[in-house]
Structure 1
Amino acid sequence: MSRSLKFLETDRRTVLKGGVAAAVAALGGGVLASCSSEGSPSGGGGGGGGATVELPTYQRFEGATPDFPAAAEGMNEGFRAYPSNPERVISEALGDGEVISFMTNIPGAIPPTRDSNSFWQAVEERIGSPLEISMSSNDEYSSKFATRIAGGDIPDILNIPKDVAQLPDLLEATCLDLTEYLSGDAVLDYPFLANLPSQSWPDTRFNGKIFAVPVPRGMSRTSAPIYRQDLTEAAGISEANPGSFDEFMDLCAEMTAPGANRWAWASMPSQYIQQMWGTPYLWAEDGGAFTHMYETEEMLGAIEDMIAVWAAGVVNPDAYTATGGAKKQWLAAGTATFIHDSFVAWNQFYTDNPTITEMQLNMLDVPGRDGGQGSPWMGAANNNITAFNAESTHDPEVLLAIANWMAAPFGTEEYLFRKFGVEGEHYELTGTDPVPTALGSSEVGIGLQYISDAPMALYLPGRPDVPETQAAVQAAMVDRLVDDASYGLYSETKSRMNAQLEGAVNDAMNQVVQGNAGIETFTDAVETWRVNGGDAIRGELEEAYAAEHG
């Protein structure tokens, strides 16, 4: 257990008539990016708590048999190949023939519009309603979401960004209460929503009601050092996993050659070192009392080791100024061996670099600082939550049926269609694996996965070795995963100020690590964090925790 440092001690219709603007007044500064930067982890969005509602019953869908079963909750099932002859599991009509509107972010390039997009048209034919999708880039989505909601221009289905300010008020004012449709066994009418893991649903509960469906990710969002195993093996290292911080330093030195433009790390491995020390994943809870990782002795020890890593010259000297994309390119080019990233990114490295055929990736486990086992962090259970406009002209059961279709799991025909499109047009089969065509790569990414999604599977077409390695890594970590204790709890101060508050502390830490300031710069920043909002967040989390646990 981390030790705290002593010095760091209405009515919906009424709201709809006059309160929508107030409910979103603070939206502009209250949304965090969905991807965390190294050293500043991002936890779950945090539901509103309230133990008066029963969360949806979990009922596993017995579909395709995984090659690598999930041994514990949170793990992702793994498949060597896509199952042959996938079954179409939903045959009835879903839509009502009327236009259904949806707004979402798009992580990559914005695809062609409906009129020029045969996949989009095929989706509309399949669901039985025209689908009007308003897409924005990740960078633009928060501001566009805030603008549309404040203006009352609310689509039928909306992807809720993480940490929206005054989120319970916003949901009460604008979104459908789904409790009667999803609470307890009611969710069994939507078997693929019932198949979503139990740990995904607390994010959707606010004010004792269920207001959304989750977009689950499980351990796929857990981050650890991804590394070029082909490079470590070429250096004569048959087993890269270090057993302690000292062995980690030796490994980094072995993979660094500045004269050859090669450094071990693309970015400062802050989170990895914190996990060696056993710092909390953002917030820890003990007897109803909450402690932030900043406030622990372990955090100070981790910073001392970060200073040593930076001083050793094993991190690319441009790590603190380069973009995330540049750092990924360093790994692909072999000028870096390690980067801290997720299981999702692991696959993306392969798909983004098909010509680097020698690239073989793996992921380091976390040792204890002085030996033994470290404490990897779970990562966010969900990518986002998705809610429905309370004033939508569509029957709620129509919108839920579409969300249920979007959640049809890996191995079904529906999943294959949603993710890859139409065979012969958007993909070709190699064996049973879908290989995207140029048209498929251009058209398919219209954001359907942010309405709802199946539990993420470990799978990469044509690479059966990749899910096997990933499953082994997850199995080695799962029993030691540390959760963010604030997950599923709502703090208004956190929703409005967390990015600003934690950003200031992380900036101070980065200055200390680079040798530009002394450790007192960090401890002073933590004291400022506490006074300016950290203590308020703590109190709100403790209040929410007490309300939920009695």
Structure 2
Amino acid sequence: MSRRTFLSLSTAVVAGAAATSLTGCGSGAKKTGEAASAKVKLPSYVPFSKVKPDLPPNAKGLSAGFLSYPKELVRSVPKTPGDGSKITMLTEIWTQPPAPAGSNAHWKKVNKELGVDLEAILGTDPGYEEKFSAVIAGGDLPDLMWIPPNQGIQHIAELLEAKCADITEYVSGDAVKDYPNLAAMTPAHWKTAVVNGKIWGAPSPYPAFGQVYGGNPKVWEKADGLSASSPEEFLAKCKEVTGGKTWALEPIYVNAASVMSQCFGAPNKWRQNKDGSLTWFQETDEYTEALNFVLKLKKAGVFYPGNPKMADAYTKMAQGAIGACVFANPFNARKDSRVQDPGQAAEILIPFGVGGNKPKHHYHLGTIGYTAVKKGDEKRVRMLLGVLNYLAAPFGTTEREFLEFGTEGTDFTYDKNGFPERSKQGKQQVEGLFSGLTTATTSPFALVASTFPGTERAQDVKDVYAAEQKLIETAIQNPVVGHYSDAYTQHYGRMSTEATDLVNDIVSGRKKLSEWKPFWAEWKNKGLEQMAREFQKSIESA
């Protein structure tokens, strides 16, 4: 995932069904949505049991870990799901586009495996919002349509009600067992696809953990590592490693404030108070203290000067010009660092406490959206759900290997450790298509050795797994995940953009920290207080 999509606070996910399903919806959304969405019966959770991980997952979000590649794969979809018809899919890719369907041998094999003629409309980041709007404006809705949580798309609720299939009866409760790979998704995943008391699509799972600092160990070696036990120690270490052509931190201040707010004990987007009321995390004293600490970091000169592009920041970290960057989660911190430098095993900063208080790591929503299904008769809808069930095949299955790597001998070969590696043809034909298909839906996230570049793949799995275990000790959920607020859909985009701009202005010295609290007092009357009341009502009616 690009850092624009998953790291910038201006587009940060703040709620489950609210953020994922209804970002930016107009006031025409059903006013009864708060209560209805809270009462829907979610699909039963039936974990996939045919492949046993080396490191077990748990219900708190700990990822399954696979230290090696299975010698024998299992089949998870016994029958071809398609009926030979043409289906269209609107989705997003996060890499180079694949070769077109007409000249892509792998795409033709995917069609055969799925039993359909797949036309994929592949959007990019940035640009998916425009692609989405253009497709919808054309009037011919795709059969399958990925709906992201945070790209400012308007009027999603109305679109779902008018044009998409309510799949609740097909997946609610034990009905989901007709689609075993979809049944392996947790209730937390499914919450993100609920709007107005109905389930609208298959979730797109993502790691459960949130933002962390990942650091170049060579830079932090002189400070005895990136880890710290207090803000004072972290600041001292940042000063120690800054000098010459090296700066401790990347200069995306809103991400620094987000990570530091975990250390200062700020809530995960919303705090649920004893009386049931809700407080937005940025209006808390804890976040203000974190922002003040980021201001101290800025004054100490430990942020890289200027505003390098996100990919450049990773490159500069690999080169040693930047000591640490904010990553979407611990997995990305290690993986993305390996991409830049296969020999770099990025350190992961575990949030430290302040003044004897425990930190609060913020869980991520756990999905990147969901794929809705176009309205149709039951036979058509069930066929499309069967296709999505195939796409959700988990690690260790023949379907997952085929989707991710293609055909052995032409698209990939196994290396000396038994890990699949794409050939030149695989990169041209498989990689981009898999990116789009896995955005639409995929299996619950797992730490898999073969996803890490370099030679220390099994150790990377162990290290990230260990970091997750530490994060779990203080991790907290967003209390409004799976709940609906009409006001949120109307006001959040503008509110978060203005907040991000103010963070940048304060840290850069253009405005004063004393302007932060009045900003939120003003926003209470512009929609924030209404959001809190509506989320509270939804929670109380659950």
Task: Report the TM-score when normalising by structure 1.
Answer: 0.88
User: Would you say 1:118 and 2:102 are equivalent positions?
Assistant: no
Amino acid at match of 2:466: A
Point out where structure 2 has 5 or more consecutive residues left out of the alignment. Answer: 19-32
Partner in structure 1 of residue 178 of structure 2? 189
SS of match in other structure, 2:145: strand
Give, as a single letter, the amino acid of the residue that structure 2 aligns with 1:66. P
Contact 1:204 1:385 in 2 (8 A): yes
Cα distance per residue 1:189-216 (max 9 Å; x no partner): 1111111122111111222221111111
- Output the CA distance in 1 between the equivalents of 2:536 and 2:357: 32
Q: Verify: 1:538 aligned to 2:532, yes or no.
A: yes
CA RMSD of aligned residues (A): 2.1
For 1:155 and 1:41, locate their aligned partners in 2 and report how far apart those are by CA, in whole Å.
Answer: 27
Counterpart position of 1:406: 391
Map of 1:27-46 to 2, 5 A cutoff? 34-37=5-8, 41-46=12-17
1:147 equivalent among 122, 129, 134:
134
Counterpart of 1:28 in structure 2 is none
**Deviation digits for residues 127-157 of structure 1 (CA, Å, limit 9, x no counterpart):** 1111000011121111221232244220000
Contact kept? 1:295, 1:526, Cα under 8 Å: yes
**Which amino acid in the other structure matches residue 46 of structure 1?**
A
Aligned to 1:231: 219
**Residue 26 of structure 2 aligns with which residue?**
none
Q: 2:504 is matched with which residue?
A: 510
Aligned to 1:485: 479
Match of 1:419 in 2: 404
CA positional deviation for 1:460 = 3.5
1:106-141 Cα distance to aligned partner (Å, 9 max, x none): 122222210122221111111111100001112111
Could you give the per-residue CA deviations for residues 29-50 of structure 1, whole angstroms, max 9, x where no partner exists? xxx9742326874334524552
Identity %: 27
Find 2:61's aligned residue among 63, 74, 83.
Answer: 74
Q: Tell me what 1:331 maps to.
A: 317
1:246 to 225, 228, 232: 232
Deviation of 1:352 after TM superposition, in Å, equals 3.1
Q: Deviations over 1:413-441 (max 9, x none)?
A: 11111111111122110132111222222
Matches within 5 A, 1:22-101: 34-37=5-8, 41-47=12-18, 50=36, 51-101=38-88
Q: Which runs of 5+ in 1 are unaligned?
A: 1-31
Q: Structure 1 stretch 516-525 or stretch 289-298: which is displaced more?
A: 516-525
- The structural deviation recorded for 1:539 is 2.4
* 2:349 pairs with 1:364: yes
CA contact (8 A) 1:215 1:453 kept: yes
Aligned amino acid, residue 368 of structure 1: G
Determine the C-alpha separation between the residues in 2 that align with 1:117 and 1:537. 48
* Secondary structure, aligned partner of 2:347: strand
1:224/1:340 contact within 8 Å kept: yes
Q: Deviations over 1:145-194 (max 9, x none)?
A: 12322442200000012254343322111111111110101111111111
Match of 1:310 in 2: 298
Offset of 1:292 from its aligned partner?
0.3
Matched, 1:456 2:456: no
Distance in 2 (CA, whole Å) between partners of 1:496 and 1:39 is 15
* Separation of aligned partners in 2, 1:508 and 1:448: 37
- For the residues of structure 2 that align with 1:347 and 1:101, how far apart are their CA atoms? 35
Query: Could you say if the C-alpha distance between residues 439 and 45 of structure 1 is closer, same or farther in structure 2, counting changes exceeding 3 Å?
Result: farther
Query: For the structure 1 residues 506 and 487, does the alpha-carbon distance in structure 2 shift closer, same or farther, using more than 3 Å as the test?
Result: same
Q: 255, 258, 275: which one pairs with 2:241?
A: 255
SS, match of residue 447 in structure 2: coil
Q: 1:288 to 1:153 in 2, by over 3 A?
A: farther
Query: Do the aligned residues in 2 keep the contact of 1:459 with 1:466 (CA within 8 Å)?
Result: no
Contact 1:175 1:390 in 2 (8 A): yes
Q: Does 2:95 align with 1:108?
A: yes
Instruction: Give the conservation status (yes or no) of the 8 Å contact 1:42–1:380.
Output: yes
Contact 1:214 1:385 in 2 (8 A): yes
Change (3 A) 1:33 1:323: closer
Q: Equivalent residue for 1:175? A: 164
**Corresponding residue of 2:28:** none
- Verify: 1:472 aligned to 2:459, yes or no: no
- Which residue does 2:29 correspond to in 1? none
Greater alpha carbon shift after TM alignment, 282-291 vs 97-106: 282-291
CA contact (8 A) 2:331 2:464 kept: no
Q: Residue 421 of structure 2 aligns to which amino acid in structure 1?
A: V
Does the 8 A contact of 2:223 with 2:240 survive in 1? no
Q: 2:278 aligns with which of 273, 287, 290?
A: 290
Code of the aligned partner of 2:332: A
C-alpha separation in 2, matches of 1:357 and 1:106: 24
SS of structure 2 residue aligned to 1:458: strand
For the residues of structure 1 that align with 2:403 and 2:342, how far apart are their CA atoms? 28
Q: Give the direction of change, closer, same or farther, for the CA distance of 1:138–1:496 in structure 2 (3 Å limit).
A: farther
Aligned residues: 508
Q: Is the 8 Å Cα contact of residues 215 and 386 (structure 1) preserved in structure 2?
A: yes
**Aligned partners of 2:106 and 2:522: how far apart in 1?**
51
- Larger mean CA deviation between 527-536 and 105-114 belongs to 527-536
Q: Deviations over 1:423-474 (max 9, x none)?
A: 1122110132111222222222221112320011112325111111000000
Query: Is 1:212 the counterpart of 2:201 in the alignment?
Result: yes
Report how far residue 91 of structure 1 moved.
Answer: 2.7
Distance 1:371 1:225 in 2: 21
| Amino acid in structure 2 at the alignment position of 1:305 | F
Whichever residue aligns with residue 7 of structure 2, its letter is: S
Q: Is the 8 A contact 2:265 2:286 kept in 1?
A: yes
Q: What letter matches 2:509 in structure 1?
A: G
Structure 2 CA distance, aligned partners of 1:458 and 1:230? 25
The question of whether the paired residues in 1 share the 8 Å contact of 2:15 and 2:483 is answered with no
For 1:443, the aligned partner's letter is Q
1:300 maps to: 288
CA distance in 2, matches of 1:476, 1:440: 37
Relative distance call for 1:73 and 1:198 in structure 2 (3 A) is farther
TM-score normalized by the length of structure 2: 0.89
